[in-house]
Structure 1
């Protein structure tokens, strides 16, 4: 469970304890004292656990003979557990997020720089060659009017996937906003989820999967972690793609999408390149 939240680690430990005690308890009534609200953790909307693992824990912890009681930390010297009373203040396991992951939210920063990012990867039907590129678009707001400007277009090696291109675009945007307050819009669920939660989990795991192999895009994820520290304050927001609407976010996203596709065709380059090694 390396890399998971403390709440989720406690959930795994609870399920493990029930499993290991089964041959001793033999179906008799069992009370399990846990420092965390394990059933609330199972119902979290945002979790680093797979659906398969959550389902397995639900089966283990739902046996009729089991009573789960939330308590304070068990004293290893006495093994006494004190149940938490209703009026005691404890953290909410259903909404708990580690501090380093709660710093980036999904609300625009008033008065901040507005950037839109996108990545593109496609195969030319005539040549069979893959083309990849990334782009960053900046919104300039003056009173009631606004303009959009392409600030970066980056042609990428053909082996870059769409997800890798999206990561490059986000890194470029963060570097562009160094020392500033910035709100970044992306239509990529992969990138926004990575920024808001999974990147810190992979960092704690050393960018290694459960089988010990490197996670996909390891080098880009390491660059992204460094880039996230560059702006004074940053918010990353998921926006809808291809809406054909005329609001600022829709137009900014559409221009970033177009610019990334053009970058993939090597029509324009950026002076500030991302390391692709």
Structure 2
């Protein structure tokens, strides 16, 4: 169904091959739909839930005699954050999604949710480190709070596991999975078993790493890292000035792991960031493909990925934190001092000429097409006026490809696909879409399509608050008699006795002012002064 939904938002409407295939598949499935029972609201519901390949699969059923009769089949795609979560958390996200999908059919009647994991135990534990507090609270409110929902672990054949989803190997067979959720949680979120935060006894090698970044008197930055022992330097290299101190620490730790390949090692570092990546967050980031919730790469993503690969090289490694710039009274402090001074010395060393970067390589990776040959074919079939428009803007033709400023020219018939690709599964804004497209491709006049696409996106309209319209400035109606409407305000004056403020009351009909000293600006004091005013006693309370 997703290709059909995507085709609805394209402007102009374009039926892609994937959407056409989905349409024919949908017609075939509807014509051969299995018999489903009607909901009986005098019986409790049973919702079988499972998750596979980032899809939530569910079967809503009720008891029929001594058997279970299905009432509806449901499926949905998890968001990027849920897809990158451990397997037991994906089951929780799937349960939340399917409860929302079946809410209009269950209608707050009793429902038993059966899942392959103990959802109650997972959500009742202390907030896990691999999700935000807001997501944890939202899951608890959606799954644990409803009185009509009972959570159970499915110990029988789960019919939702038999629902087909697109996969290279066809429909997966159901296998009985008996496990302890907390043990599985520890296995999927813990760091490598060969990595620890406790010092090893009698290691083969003890290393000290440090990265440094500083600016000289002229404001130029210098970056470098070093790997040493207590008395010798094993590796030291300068880094580009654009490299941050955190990235230098990651590269130093990566180099140390490579030097300790096949050995047991204690590696000391004064960077809590590098140690946290290796021991706390690196595994979770690796599961999520080193992407943030918006689908963009995390900071220092390539260096983090290199470190996670390098951690598998040592036979056993302990990553230990050492105090920076301490007194040189211990071997750890001496080794850290040597690594720190070496990193600063090597940072000012001029870099060797970096390898030339082929600017055309990333620009020719047309990610919304299968190959560059298809783009060349689409360019040759473009109208003559469009090609002349490219040439009028200094476009060049080389190796069968039109490009402008080293950016491939995109024909207008590919604009819908390009806009859909730029919007992506993370539903970025029109400004980010325009920035991404203009950075990689030459597509004049595409801003109107990005604006229309984001405006027609149902998910963006549902989730984005939009721009709030300010109410227009209006004038109050003119009062008809004295003290029908008044204006009240406080002004601060020099202290006199116990009074710090003056309550000013102005009649909007005649402009008559009244000024009363008050000790504070509270509502209670203001009301008492208004009540005690003789004018109010004579005229009555105001509207």
Give the superposition deviation at 1:253: 3.5
Instruction: Report whether the alignment pairs 1:135 with 2:226.
Output: yes
Contact (CA 8 Å) 2:86, 2:185: kept in 1 or not? no
Give the superposition deviation at 1:168: 0.8
Give the superposition deviation at 1:264: 2.5
Secondary structure of the 1:97 match is helix
User: Of the candidates 108, 112, 119, which is equivalent to residue 38 of structure 1?
Assistant: 119
Give the match for residue 97 of structure 2. 16
Range with bigger deviation, 151-160 or 257-266: 257-266
Cα separation, partners in 2 of 1:257 and 1:68, compared to 1, 3 Å: farther
Q: Give me the CA root mean square deviation.
A: 3.5
Contact (CA 8 Å) 2:210, 2:270: kept in 1 or not? yes
- In the TM superposition, 1:168-183 aligns within 5 A as 168-183=251-266
Secondary structure of the 1:96 match is helix
Find the structure with the greater CA-based Rg. 2
Contact (CA 8 Å) 1:136, 1:150: kept in 2 or not? yes
Distance in 2, matches of 1:20 and 1:110, equals 55
Give the match for residue 108 of structure 1. 199
- TM-score, structure 2 length as denominator? 0.41
Secondary structure of the 1:36 match is coil
Instruction: Report whether the alignment pairs 1:51 with 2:133.
Output: yes
Cα separation, partners in 2 of 1:263 and 1:53, compared to 1, 3 Å: farther
Contact (CA 8 Å) 1:36, 1:93: kept in 2 or not? no
Cα separation, partners in 2 of 1:241 and 1:49, compared to 1, 3 Å: farther
* Structure 2 segments unaligned to the other structure (5+ residues): 1-81, 163-177, 358-543
Contact (CA 8 Å) 2:265, 2:317: kept in 1 or not? yes
Would you say how many aligned residue pairs link Structure 1 and Structure 2?
Answer: 253
Distance in 1, matches of 2:320 and 2:155, equals 37
Give the match for residue 250 of structure 2. 167
Give the superposition deviation at 1:235: 2.7
Distance in 2, matches of 1:41 and 1:242, equals 43
User: Of the candidates 198, 210, 216, which is equivalent to residue 299 of structure 2?
Assistant: 216
Instruction: Report whether the alignment pairs 1:121 with 2:208.
Output: no
Distance in 2, matches of 1:9 and 1:249, equals 43
Give the superposition deviation at 1:161: 0.7
Distance in 2, matches of 1:154 and 1:76, equals 58
Distance in 2, matches of 1:262 and 1:72, equals 63
Secondary structure of the 1:119 match is strand
- TM-score, structure 1 length as denominator? 0.74
- In the TM superposition, 1:125-274 aligns within 5 A as 126-139=217-230, 148-242=231-325, 244=327, 246-266=329-349
Secondary structure of the 1:98 match is helix
Secondary structure of the 2:196 match is coil
Cα separation, partners in 2 of 1:249 and 1:100, compared to 1, 3 Å: same
Cα separation, partners in 2 of 1:220 and 1:54, compared to 1, 3 Å: same
Distance in 1, matches of 2:96 and 2:276, equals 27
Instruction: Report whether the alignment pairs 1:6 with 2:87.
Output: yes
Give the superposition deviation at 1:171: 1.2
Which string of whole-angstrom CA distances, capped at 9 and with x for unpartnered residues, describes residues 7-45 of structure 1? 221222222233333333344444323333335444456
Secondary structure of the 1:18 match is helix
- Larger RCO (CA under 8 A, 6+ residues apart): 1
Distance in 1, matches of 2:323 and 2:111, equals 49
Secondary structure of the 2:299 match is coil
Give the superposition deviation at 1:195: 1.9
